[in-house]
Amino acid sequence: MTGAIRRVEIAARSARDELISVIRAAMAVTAIVWIYLANDPFPSAGGVVQRNLLPYQAVIQSRPSDEQLMFRELQVALIEAEGARSAKGAWPEPDGLAADGIEPFAANPAVKRTRYRWRLLRNGLFINYIGIPADASAPAWMLLVQEPDPSGQPEPFVDDEDHDRLLDGSVLHVSIWNHSQGGKLTAASVTRAPQAEGWTQLYAAAKAER
């Protein structure tokens, strides 16, 4: 008895899909290396990391473990969002990041914490990804991105926590913030100066004194 022959058509991936795959892989490697270095900084002489933080800034190691986890997830999520921005020319919506399984936009059932409602807000060159907690006692979180002014001179890239670079060379100002009274926030408009509204900027490592 002769079995039926099944024909399977293999379609080549589009150039766009290939580009997105390459970008995501490169971003993932960069994220792993950066997070490792940021969370294991080289100490200065005497074994003490020099700090030069402003009153509204803090190092994430000084925060509870659940906040440290959220911070690290947002570091990776920011790189994923930048990859999408480079590939598609627009910042991805939180629902799109959640559909791709990007935490904290996608809920992780293995992590017990309050649920967040994420919004993408944009005004001019400023982009906010803001997470408002369902539990009023939990902190709110924000990724703040400032794109370069296309009419200005290109800014030189500085390899630190305050800057990232898209594939086209555009230099972004980036930062991660949280707000202790998250349940009271409405996230109705873009925040440009979070420090003036009670937000705390968080760093993976203390900034060295100059």
User: Does the bond joining 55 to the residue before it have cis omega, within 30 degrees of 0?
Assistant: no
Q: What integer is the mean pLDDT of 65-71?
A: 96
pLDDT, averaged across the chain: 82
Q: Which SS3 state, helix, strand or coil, does residue 120 take?
A: strand
Sign of the Cα torsion 98, 167, 20, 125 reads: positive
Q: What is the number of residues in the chain?
A: 210
Terminal-residue alpha carbon distance, the chain: 82
Q: At what angle do helices 65-88 and 15-38 cross, to 10 degrees?
A: 150
Q: What is the DSSP string of 131-182?
A: EEESSTTSPEEEEEEEPPPTTSPPPPP--STTEEE-TT--EEEEEEEEETTG
Burial label for 55, CB within 10 Å (0-12, 13-18, 19+), is exposed
Distance CA 115, CA 104 (A): 10
pLDDT surpassing 70 at residue 12: no
Residue-wise pLDDT for 36-56, tens only, equals 444 444 343 333 344 589 999
Cα–Cα–Cα angle for 138, 143, 148, rounded to 5 degrees: 160
pTM comes to 0.75
The model's confidence at residue 112, banded by pLDDT at 50, 70 and 90, is confident
Distance CA 18, CA 87 (A): 10
Q: Which amino acid is at 72?
A: R
Q: Which range has the worst mean pLDDT, 23-27, 31-35, 142-146?
A: 31-35
